[in-house]
Structures are given as C-alpha cells and as structure tokens.
Amino acid sequence: MKLDAIEIQIKSLPQVPGVYQYYDKQDKIIYIGKAKNIKKRVNSYFNKTQDNQKTRVLVKNIFRIEHVVVDSEIDALLLENNLIKKYKPRYNILLKDDKTYPWICLEKYPKPKIFSTRNINDTSKEYFGPYTNIKHLKIMIQLIKETYPFLNQELNHLLKINNIESSVFLFKKHELSIKQLINGNLNFCINHFKKEMKLLSKELKFEEAQVLKEKIAALKGYQAKSTIVNPKINNVDVFSIISDESHGYINYLQVSFGAIVRSHTIEIKKKLDEKTEDLLQLGIIEIRQLFSSISKTLFLSHKVSLGKELKVFLPQQGDKKKLVDLSLRNAKYFRIDRYKQIKITDPERHTKRLMNQMKVDLRLPKEPIHIECFDNSNTQGSNPVAACVVFKNGKPSKKEYRHYNIKTVTGPNDFASMEEVVLRRYKRLLEENTSLPQLIVIDGGKGQLSSALKSLDILGLRGEISIIGIAKRLEEIYFPNDGIPLYLDKKSESLKILQRARDEAHRFGITFHRQKRSKRSLTSKLDGIPGIGPASRDKLLISLKSFKRIKAASKKEVIDILGKQKGERIFDALQKN
C-alpha cells in the first residue's frame, strides 16, 4: 500500500480513546498500541522523523491500519494488553510477557479472605477487576480488610474469630455490602473518612488528616468496572450492524475467557432492498467462517435466525448490553471512516451519497443538488435588507449569492420582507428562464415559511420547488401545511448542510446590512451638502472621524483640512445645513 493511502487512512481516524493495530504487507499484525486520541497518536508516527531506530523500521513496514474504539483510556489500556497477549506483535516489547493486570479475588471457602491475584482460572472464587492502578487496588483491599476484619487473615488470631465457622457466618452476613464496596459503592466510606479528617484537623493532627485526604482522592478515582474484561462472560461472539441506503457495516467482537481478543468490521453492499437483519445474517456467517469461530453463544443488536445449535441473545441491559453497545460504536465509527475516505478519494460518490441522504432525511421528491437559502436583516426596521445564498452539491456557490434592498416594506416586518424577496427572486428567474433550485430554505419558523409560500403561490411554483423553514433555537425543520417540526440528529450531515446554508445567509445578509448602515450614518449627511465631493468627504472623515465632530468643528479646523477657499465655503454650508 502506498504512503498516500496510509495518509488517507490517518485523515479518517477518529479522535477518541482506543487501540490501533499496524499490519504489514502479509496482513500480519506487527504493532498494537493504545491512545487517548487515536488520530493524534497514529499521526505522530508519520509527521516527524523518529529518533528510535526500531520505530523508523516499524513505520516503513506499516501497510494498513485498523483501530478499535473504546469508552475510556483505561479500557484502551486493558484491550491493548489483551490483544498483545494474543497476537504477540513483533514490534511490541512492553506487555509482551505473560504478566497481566491484577484482580481482586474474594474467596469464600475454606476461610473467607480477600487478596489480589493475576491468575483467574479458579471458578470457585469470585474475581473483580482488572485494575490498571495498583495503588488503588491496594488501598481498596486494605480498606475492606479494615472495614471487615474477619477477611484479614493476618489479624484473625487477635480478633477472636479464628474459628472458621464464625468467619464464614460473618462473611455470609456481610457478603452483599462487601461486593458493593469492591464494585465502587464507596460513598459511606468517603463520608466517614471526611468526618474523621475534619476531627483530626481540629486536633491539629495534619499528617494523619493528609493520609486520609489521599485515601479519599484514591477512592474517588477508583476504577469502575470495565467493558473490555469481564470474567462472567466467556467464549461469546458479539455482532452489531449499522446501515445506510447502500451498505451495511457489521462489527464483530470476540470474547474469550472473559476478555475481548478481536474486533473486526466488514462492509456489505446492498444488491437489492435488503433488510438490516438480512445483511447482519450474511455478515455473521461470513465473519464466523473467516475466523473459524466455534462459539455457541451470540449477543446481537438485531434479531436474526441462525439455527437451533446457536444460542442467540439480544441484551437489553447490564454487562452484555454494554458489549453490544461497544460493538455498535465501532460499527458507527467504521462507517464514518469510510465516508471520510470516500470524500477524499471519490468526491463524486461522496456528493451523490450526501444528496441522497438529504433527500431521505428531508422527505424530498428530488435530490437537492441546488439549494437556495434566504435571510432578512434590519435594525428596528431601518436599512432593511435580505440575502440569498446558493449551495450546489452541498457546497457554497458564492458567485451566485445575491443581496436585496427591501423596497415595499416599512418598519420591522420580517414576514412581509421575506414575501417580497422570494417573489422578486423567482419572478426574475422565471423571466430569465433560469434553472430553479430543488430546495428553498427559509431562516425562520412557521411565519417566515408561510410568507415565502405566498410568493410561490403567486408565481405558481408551489409543488414545483420543495421549501422548508429552519428555526435557530432547537433547529426545528418546518414543512408546508405541517405544524409538527422535524428534528434531525445533531450529528446528521443533512442538518449540518442546512445549518451552514442558514449561517452563510445570515453572515452575508448582516454584512450587507452593516455596510449600508455604516455608509448611511457616516456619509449621507455629508453627501447632501453642496461643495463636498468624495475627496473632501474622505479628508473630513479621516481627520474628524464622525459627522457630529465635523459639524462642531471650528472654521479654522475645516480650513486647515480643506484649504481656505473650499474650507470657508463648506463651513458655511455645514452651518446652514
């Protein structure tokens, strides 16, 4: 793969936490890394000369990049650990040994006890974790031992609970609260430490209070349960799908021995009008064959029939649902990456997809290749103007922008102004036999939209051109004869184009309004005075800044600026005016 293709991949990477994987020409993983910002981290390998020889060789061998999106930097760290252990990439040195992150182990029999371990093979014990911060883990175990002394084997001989039956009884009595504490329900402990810290501070025992303060800070930063590693879920395949008008994007997560060890996403082109469930069914069969999966348990985002030998679940809550949500998130980011790459490599395909998406989202009869957007601008009815901006294929066509001075409306009347400018715009296009837009966008709600519709009715264009209104506050989209607005997703590409057109119309209109207002306020009074031409006017404005100061200037000041003969004549004219 050429470097420019790698650059295209880098430009499409998401700026979120996750794990990136580098592949060589033989499609073998040669390096796995984690990042708080995937795009920024991967880009750092290519945008500078590497000092380390190993890194320079690694970069030369990178042929393809894949990534897995996760919820947090901690999850990225855990997933990196899992993947490195499984694939043992050539260029990974750290985390390549047999060590892994520790867990908290709760042992019930023969004696209840709590300890940290890196081995989770014993199913008779209960495990919590893993923990990337060893300090937090040690503090938690110590806290639990202090709160529930019968778990502290070192002190049992001093606590008169050396009897096994007594300790087992105490464990059963407090088992639920112990698990809640391990899982992060620390509020009562934190509140207790805070009270004790205040008492120590009042007694001037600041060193002991500081120790408690550090414990509180550590407990607040205590690691929450991870989606990446969960010993309760074993040997499961997770599948999810996101689809658009032409493709389906199917993500696969392989969970083995309680940990995610593989993520893979494929793109399937729709040949006919297949349902999402049908595409997912095809994708599951293809991916399971590709990776020779033998798992009998599947967690899915959509209901699919796969035969009686497989157990299929559609999780609705809990840890299983978190896995499906993570899979869906990776499918969504894969689709976004594909869109970005197509935009760079095949702009025409990108534009066609975008136009088709707008047609679907806005319920239009045609693709809105030509969009025109209108906005009014005035200051309490003074200097009223309007602007029309034109978008072609989703991009501004600035040569076709138009300004309008409002001629028939007096006072602040946005509705009447909108009616006038829409009528003038399309009356002229009809007279000139110029092509009409497929979509008109009105900056405003129901009132402005109704006013624009009156003009289309006069011209006989209702039904010939689609028209919508977009209100600023909640981005409601209004349609003719429909009182219920449409709300598009805030990340929708269709909404972003409408917002950009609306903002362009506002910018273009307000700039024209300011120019007109400024010109009128600074020059109209001077232009009406006999003897003052453009050169004299500019000299006076540069020197005295405003009409008020020019009017108040002495005869000598005016003569000093314009000369004796012209200065006397203009000073006399200013006084009469």
pLDDT at 413: 77
CA–CA dist 349, 364 (Å, integer): 20
Structure tokens at 183: 């899982």
Give mean pLDDT, residues 568-576.
Answer: 78
Q: Percentage of residues in the chain with pLDDT exceeding 90? A: 25
The mean-pLDDT minimum among 46-55, 217-226, 433-442 falls in 217-226
Within 72-204, residue ranges assigned H as helices are 73-87, 134-147, 164-182, 187-202
Structure tokens at 153: 């084997």
Strands 297-300 and 236-243: parallel
Give mean pLDDT, residues 113-120.
Answer: 85
Q: Of 253, 219, 249, 223, which Cα lies nearest the Cα of 236?
A: 253
C-alpha 559, offset from chain centre: 63
The mean-pLDDT minimum among 21-30, 153-162, 451-460 falls in 153-162
How sure is the predictor about 224, in pLDDT bands with cuts at 50, 70 and 90?
very low
CA–CA dist 148, 150 (Å, integer): 6
Helix, strand, coil proportions of the chain in percent (round to 5)? 50, 20, 30
Residue found under tokens 């600023």 = 472
How sure is the predictor about 1, in pLDDT bands with cuts at 50, 70 and 90?
very low
Q: What is the pLDDT of residues 257-311, one digit of tens each?
A: 777 888 999 999 888 778 899 999 999 999 999 999 989 999 999 999 888 889 9
Mean pLDDT value across the chain = 82
pLDDT tops 60 at residue 162:
no
Give mean pLDDT, residues 490-519.
Answer: 82
pLDDT at 235: 86
pLDDT tops 80 at residue 226:
no
* Sign of the torsion formed by the C-alpha atoms of 281, 282, 288 and 291: negative
Q: What is the pLDDT of residues 310-355, one digit of tens each?
A: 999 999 988 889 999 999 999 999 999 988 888 888 888 888 888 9
Q: Percentage of residues in the chain with pLDDT exceeding 70? A: 87
Q: Of 554, 548, 550, which Cα lies nearest the Cα of 537?
A: 550
pLDDT tops 60 at residue 161:
no
The mean-pLDDT minimum among 107-121, 293-307, 449-463, 486-500 falls in 107-121
pLDDT at 472: 78
Q: Could you give phi then psi for residue 405, rounded to 5 degrees? A: -85, 125
CA distances (Å), origin 561, targets 21, 488, 530, 531, 539: 73, 60, 17, 14, 7
pLDDT at 391: 94
For 130, the 3-state DSSP assignment is: coil
The mean-pLDDT minimum among 227-231, 271-275, 511-515 falls in 227-231
More confident residue, 211 or 93: 211
pLDDT tops 70 at residue 17:
yes
pLDDT at 223: 42
Element (H, E) at 220: helix 206-220
The mean-pLDDT minimum among 307-316, 427-436, 538-547 falls in 538-547
CA–CA dist 519, 516 (Å, integer): 5
Q: Could you give phi then psi for residue 33, rounded to 5 degrees? A: -140, 165
Element (H, E) at 37: none
pLDDT tops 80 at residue 115:
yes
pLDDT at 300: 94
More confident residue, 158 or 314: 314
How sure is the predictor about 370, in pLDDT bands with cuts at 50, 70 and 90?
very high
Set out the domains of the chain in order of their start, with CATH numbers: 3-87 (3.40.1440.10), 103-186 (no CATH), 236-343 (3.30.420), 365-516 (3.30.420.340), 528-576 (1.10.150)
Strands 247-256 and 236-243: antiparallel
Which pairs with CB-CB distance under 8 Å and at least 24 residues apart come from 315-322? 319/225, 319/227, 319/230, 319/232, 319/233, 320/233, 322/227
CA–CA dist 4, 9 (Å, integer): 9
Give mean pLDDT, residues 420-448.
Answer: 89
CA–CA dist 489, 52 (Å, integer): 45
Structure tokens at 457: 């009715």
Greatest mean pLDDT range, 64-78, 317-331, 399-413: 317-331
Give mean pLDDT, residues 1-10.
Answer: 72
pLDDT at 575: 76
Give mean pLDDT, residues 212-235.
Answer: 68
CA–CA dist 297, 305 (Å, integer): 13
More confident residue, 409 or 392: 392
The mean-pLDDT minimum among 56-70, 98-112, 192-206, 348-362 falls in 98-112
More confident residue, 167 or 563: 563
The mean-pLDDT minimum among 28-42, 88-102, 451-465 falls in 88-102
How sure is the predictor about 237, in pLDDT bands with cuts at 50, 70 and 90?
very high
Yes or no: say if 446 and 411 are a contact pair by the CB < 8 Å rule: no
